[in-house]
C-alpha cells in the first residue's frame, strides 16, 4: 500500500507524446464532444490503432460471450487458466477490442494468461447501463466457462470506470483477483474538486465532463456506484493498482480512488508520473517508464492469483 511519484524523461516517452498529440487532434474529448459524429471518429481511430506495435508470438481469436463480442489474445501455449479481462477506454464513445490488440498482446505475453478484451456497447447510441451490462454479462460467461479461474480486471479511462463498477457488482462472487486501472474516471456528480490540482491535459479536457455526463449517464442518477464508483462500498474490494499522469484531468479521480481504498484497508498502490499523458500506461513495452509499470502490474496480479 502506498503512493509512488515518478517523472518520465525518456526520449521514447517524448516520441509517444508527439504521436498521441497527432492521433488525438480533433478527436473531441472536450466541451464539444456532445456534437461529434462518433461513428465517423471510430472508423478513423480504429484504423489508426491497427498500426500500433504488437508483441510477436501472440495469437488472436474473436469470440462471443453471452452475445458480447470479444477478442482473446494468447501468447504461445498459455499454461494457465487464469484470465485477464480487459476493458478498453475511449470516453465511453470510442475504442474497441480489436483496436486494443497492442496492449492486450503485451498483457498476454508478460503474464502468460489469456487476455479477453470486451467490445461493450458505446454511447451516445447506448448510454448507461447498456455498456456496463455487456461487461457484466461477459464476466459471468467467463466465470461459467472457467469456473476455477481467478480474473484480473484491467482497463483505462472509461474502461477503468467499468472495471471498478464491475468489481463492485461482483464483489460477493469472489472471482476477481485484483484490479489494475489506468487514469480512471470515478465521479459524474461533480463531487470531486479538481480545482486544487494543476491540469495540463491535451487528450481529455476538463470541459468534456459535462457533455460526457449527458452522453453516458443520461437520465440515470449520477451517484449510482456503477456509474460513479466513488459512491461504492469498498469494504472487501479486490487489491487495486492505479496509475495516472500528475497533471491530467482525472488525476483527482485517481487520488480519490486511492484514498477510498486506503480508508477501508484495501491493498492499494498508486503510481503517478510527471511528464506523460492520460492513460499513458497502455503504451506497455513502448517506453522504459511504461514497461516498468507493465512489469509491476504483472507482479501485482500474480501476487494475488
SS3 of 255, please? Answer: helix
Instruction: Write out the three cell numbers for 211.
Output: 457533455
Q: What is the pLDDT of residue 207?
A: 85
Instruction: Please write the tens of the pLDDT for every residue from 99-122.
Output: 999 999 999 999 999 999 999 999
Output the domain CATH number for residue 115: 3.40.50.1820
Sheet holding 58-65, edge to edge: 2-7, 268-274, 240-245, 176-182, 151-156, 83-87, 114-118, 68-75, 58-65
Give me the torsion for CA of 215, 231, 277, 128, rounded to 10°: -20
What is the pLDDT at residue 49?
65
User: What is the pTM assigned to this prediction?
Assistant: 0.95
How far is residue 210's CA from residue 219's CA, in Å, rounded to a whole number? Answer: 14
- Comparing CA positions, the residue from 32, 28, 30, 57 lying closest to residue 44 is 28
- Number of structural domains, the chain? 1
Q: Residue 107 is part of which domain span?
A: 2-304
Q: What is the dihedral of CA 143, 145, 146, 148, to 10 degrees?
A: 80
Name the grid cell of 95.
475504442
Q: How does pLDDT run across 13-70, given as a tens digit for each residue?
A: 999 999 888 876 656 688 888 888 878 677 766 656 666 789 999 999 999 999 999 9
Amino acid at each position: 500500500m502506498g503512493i509512488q511519484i515518478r517523472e518520465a524523461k525518456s526520449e521514447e516517452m517524448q516520441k509517444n507524446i508527439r504521436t498521441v498529440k497527432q492521433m488525438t487532434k480533433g478527436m473531441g474529448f472536450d466541451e464539444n464532444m456532445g456534437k461529434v459524429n462518433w461513428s465517423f471518429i471510430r472508423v478513423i481511430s480504429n484504423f489508426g490503432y491497427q498500426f500500433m506495435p504488437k508483441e510477436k508470438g501472440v495469437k488472436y481469436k474473436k469470440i462471443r460471450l453471452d452475445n458480447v463480442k470479444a477478442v482473446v489474445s494468447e501468447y504461445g501455449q498459455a499454461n494457465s487458466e487464469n484470465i485477464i479481462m480487459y476493458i478498453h477506454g475511449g470516453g465511453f464513445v470510442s475504442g474497441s477490442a480489436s483496436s486494443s490488440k497492442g496492449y492486450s498482446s503485451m498483457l498476454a505475453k508478460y503474464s502468460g494468461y489469456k487476455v479477453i478484451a470486451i467490445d461493450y456497447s458505446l454511447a451516445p447510441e447506448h448510454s448507461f447501463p447498456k455498456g456496463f451490462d455487456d461487461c457484466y454479462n461477459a464476466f459471468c460467461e467467463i466465470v461459467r466457462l472457467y469456473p476455477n479461474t481467478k480474473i484480473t480486471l484491467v482497463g483505462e479511462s472509461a474502461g477503468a470506470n467499468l472495471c471498478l463498477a464491475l468489481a463492485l457488482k461482483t464483489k460477493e462472487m469472489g472471482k476477481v483477483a485484483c484490479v489494475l486501472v489506468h487514469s480512471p474516471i470515478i465521479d459524474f456528480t461533480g463531487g470531486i474538486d479538481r480545482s486544487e490540482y494543476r491540469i495540463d491535459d491535451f487528450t481529455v479536457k476538463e470541459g468534456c465532463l459535462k457533455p460526457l455526463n449527458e452522453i453516458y449517464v443520461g437520465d440515470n442518477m449520477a451517484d449510482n456506484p456503477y456509474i460513479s464508483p466513488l459512491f461504492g462500498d469498498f469494504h472487501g474490494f479486490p487489491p487495486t493498482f492505479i496509475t495516472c499522469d500528475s497533471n491530467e484531468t482525472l488525476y483527482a479521480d485517481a487520488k480519490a480512488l486511492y484514498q477510498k481504498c486506503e480508508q477501508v484497508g484495501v491493498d492499494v498502490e498508486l503510481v503517478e508520473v510527471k511528464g506523460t499523458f492520460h492513460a499513458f500506461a497502455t503504451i506497455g513495452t513502448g517506453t522504459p517508464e511504461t514497461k516498468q509499470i507493465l512489469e509491476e502490474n504483472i507482479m501485482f496480479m500474480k501476487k494475488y492469483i
